[in-house]
Structure 1
């Protein structure tokens, strides 16, 4: 009895089906929730995979900065050919908890994390002939940073009745800090609505300022990692009092100038009284005085050269007070 070819045919068909069947898919599992780590600590990013590891097995961890596409990823380390190759700017701080990572777990260990380590990390497994998935897992990491010392500043009109804005901002802090303004001391509480603050932007708006608004204000920046603060002193001025003070100073200056002028005038008068008066002695002769014994008429005569043709010499006589001398013709 001849053997039926059925079993041989089935074995041949099964072998052909096995050869034609595709390889196993590479499956990568990573935490679904974002991870966080305090600045300066060590972060562990878990990556679990399933595949039939062969000599062609390769693993890569890479990093993408926030807001950039996955194609812009930068390598952190490779594992291939049984060797681990850290690379890039994080090479000195990056390692694997399992080395070699051939047992289905390839957790990345990143020491002394910095704010610049915040971003997306890619765990990619390649193991030909297991080609039927991309073997990729994405892990989001946030490095928690306490707020840096904030900077306080003010703008606006700080006179009575004006409005001013106090600003507060920290250059560092993750999660983003919230800001809270408080006024120090036991001064009266400003009326409702005159103080409005924004905890996100860190701005405090003061309206309808009065002298009671003056004082020291403190801004506190805080997040889950800590807090920091800065202080600012607000001085509200009254322009009307300034003008009054200016008027008083002007009056005082005018009185001072007047007092100095009166003093100088009185001093001058006193010095003038002390000066000796100028007198003429009995023997002093003035240039325009008339000589004794000569009448005013004689002294008032014209120049002898004048009128010689009109009057004869005999008609001229000299008069004296004491005697008369005979004239010979």
Structure 2
């Protein structure tokens, strides 16, 4: 019975040995590192046995991060023909050997991208043998666009910080500072964990000089320069006083301009009102001729009511001279000597009573 079991075991071992005659050579490493834009080689070498008489098939897969998803084949070699998938690695992955039949199924990936980071699997089949192997690829970005700057006032006695920052670069990124001019020694400071910040307390003019910050990670370095110039503190009181005086002068000038503008507007408004004001014309004065006639006319009506009996009290001599204007007397009647002439309105103011001489006949009777 024991002999029977031993015979079965030997048969199984022989079959297993024949099925696993194809062997994958253990690579020098299972984790690979690359730089973005660079190139890397993923190793997959194998050996064959006389029993492996089938067709050689070499397949490379990008292992899915989620176990629920299928792996993505990126390149395949079968019967002397190479096939590439139309995925993110298309035209960027090639077999390292021109003839993978010689036992080298390694691949080269060029123009690496950070998104190429992940797990890869190499599977070699040559019936009846079949083997596969997984490896890890990490693609890093070198530090780039590093800048240096000062946070705070560069004045004697003040506190400020020298800072270093990298816009690009895969973590972790570390920083280091050094002084390359002036006193070749860094000022007393309190660096942070990454070294990106150099805190300076109670600065002195001796801290002035040129500083260099170097940023680095696993795949590269970058640097920047900073010129520090520590100066005496500024006269803040004078600056504040000057600002206040300047503000007051500005307000005074602004007030004067506003006042002048308002006054100008008022003057324009007054001139416009004067131009549109309706004025009542003054009646022209009456002429002396019309005035004298008005006196005569008014008294004519009063004398017209008198009868001959009422005229006894009046002497004819009283009516011999009538106050008339000189220009009303004809030139032929002007005597060589005449008394001073007084205008009718002036006689009225002097108390004279204007009268009208009634018409008379030749015998002197009133008509």
TM-score bracket for the superposition, by shorter chain length? 0.5 to 0.7
Q: In the alignment, what sits opposite 1:208?
A: 202
Q: In the alignment, what sits opposite 1:27?
A: 23
Q: Find the partner of 2:46 among 46, 49, 56.
A: 49
- SS of the equivalent of 1:149 reads strand
CA distance in 1, matches of 2:63, 2:160: 43
Shift of 1:85: 0.7
CA distance in 1, matches of 2:232, 2:238: 10
Q: Find the partner of 1:77 among 72, 75, 95.
A: 75
1:168 aligns with 2:164: yes
Shift of 1:123: 0.9
- SS of the equivalent of 2:19 reads coil
Say whether the 8 Å CA contact 2:179–2:186 is kept in structure 1: no
Say whether the 8 Å CA contact 1:61–1:121 is kept in structure 2: yes
Say whether the 8 Å CA contact 1:57–1:125 is kept in structure 2: yes
Structure with larger Rg: 2
Q: In the alignment, what sits opposite 2:215?
A: 221
Q: In the alignment, what sits opposite 1:96?
A: 95
Q: In the alignment, what sits opposite 1:309?
A: none
RMSD: 4.6
CA distance in 2, matches of 1:45, 1:250: 69
- SS of the equivalent of 1:208 reads coil
- Using a 3 Å threshold, how does the CA distance of structure 1 residues 243 and 233 change in structure 2: closer, same or farther? farther
Say whether the 8 Å CA contact 1:190–1:212 is kept in structure 2: no
Say whether the 8 Å CA contact 2:182–2:210 is kept in structure 1: no
- Using a 3 Å threshold, how does the CA distance of structure 1 residues 54 and 203 change in structure 2: closer, same or farther? farther
- Using a 3 Å threshold, how does the CA distance of structure 1 residues 119 and 230 change in structure 2: closer, same or farther? same
Q: Unpaired segments of 5 or more residues in structure 1?
A: 1-9, 257-329
- SS of the equivalent of 1:122 reads strand
CA distance in 2, matches of 1:42, 1:190: 39
TM-score by length of 2: 0.48
Shift of 1:104: 3.1
1:197 aligns with 2:191: yes
1 or 2 for the larger relative contact order (CA 8 Å, sep ≥6)?
A: 1
CA distance in 1, matches of 2:216, 2:233: 38
- SS of the equivalent of 1:90 reads coil
- Describe the superposition over 1:53-73 as per-residue Cα deviations: whole angstroms up to 9, x where unpaired: 4546432112359xx467675
- Using a 3 Å threshold, how does the CA distance of structure 1 residues 223 and 159 change in structure 2: closer, same or farther? same
- Using a 3 Å threshold, how does the CA distance of structure 1 residues 138 and 205 change in structure 2: closer, same or farther? farther
- Describe the superposition over 1:91-135 as per-residue Cα deviations: whole angstroms up to 9, x where unpaired: 21222234553443212122344444444432122455446xxx2
Structure with the larger helix share: 2
